[in-house]
Amino acid sequence: MTDFIDKAILIGIGLEKKIRELAHELEEKGKEKEAEAEGQQQELQPKQRLENRIVEDGIKAVRELVALLAEGKKKVAGEVSEVAETITDRLDIATKSELSTLKEMIRVAREKVDRLEKRIQELEEERREMMER
């Protein structure tokens, strides 16, 4: 399930990137058209204005789409996080912090066991020595 979610997020990121590239490309074309219009004669201006308006509208639409995708991506990430948290709670799965705490407790317990084993061994050796006398 996480693979599916990861893929969906990556697809969203890829779409967002492509749309941003398209918006940038449309902006560049609009700037080129403006530059051409300034250099051309007055009789081409209405046509040029129309082309520029179409490019500007395209840029605006692409920007809105990028914003919508970014918002959707954020919403999906939040929902995925909520679902994952709900699932881990229901399955009673330990969190990273809980596992970290548990690892530390195990390390401390292991050290104590090692010290106790060493002390027991010392006491047994003392007992043997006392019995041999």
- The answer to whether 35 touches 27, Cβ cutoff 8 Å, is no
Can you tell me the distance from the alpha carbon of 118 to that of 105, in angstroms, rounded to the nearest whole number? 20
Structural domain boundaries of the chain?
1-93, 94-133
pLDDT in tens, 33-53: 666 666 554 455 776 777 777
- The answer to whether 34 touches 9, Cβ cutoff 8 Å, is no
What angle separates helix 45-90 from helix 2-39, to the nearest 10 degrees?
170
pLDDT in tens, 52-101: 778 888 888 888 888 888 888 888 888 888 888 888 888 888 888 999 99
Can you tell me the distance from the alpha carbon of 15 to that of 76, in angstroms, rounded to the nearest whole number? 15
Q: Please give the DSSP secondary-structure letter assigned to residue 91.
A: T
Tell me, what's the pLDDT at 125? 94
